[in-house]
Amino acid sequence: MRIKELAHDIGLSNIALVGNKIRGERDRDFLQKKLPEFRFLGFIPFDDQIIEADLQGAFPEDMAAQTRLSFAEIVRSLGDGSQ
């Protein structure tokens, strides 16, 4: 909510979120229920390969297939403005 306030202060009105480290539908439902006024571009699953790559300062070449699909969903959402 603080980000929403700061964005408003600098004139940003089109705000969307990405859920991160999602362990399952329960996490996804929780975020959508707690933040109903926001549009979610997508949800990135919890993926140990991304965490390891981050610790090494590298791109996570070997991320799980579901993680790749999640990133593709976010890109599509950015392009068409859908949820």
- The pLDDT score that the predictor gives to residue 2 is 86
Distance CA 28, CA 39 (A): 13
The ranges assigned to domains in the chain are: 2-80
Task: Report the percentage of the chain scoring pLDDT > 90.
Answer: 64
Q: What CA–CA distance (Å, rounded) separates 78 from 47?
A: 22
pLDDT value at residue 68: 92
- Write out the two tokens for 26: 């329960």
Distance from C-alpha of 16 to C-alpha of 54, rounded to nearest angstrom: 24
pLDDT value of residue 83: 47
CA angle 29, 17, 62 (to 5 degrees): 85
Owner of token pair 């009105």 = 13
Which segments in the chain show pLDDT lower than 70? 81-83
Residue 60's pLDDT is 83
Whether 37 and 52 have beta carbons less than 8 Å apart is answered as no
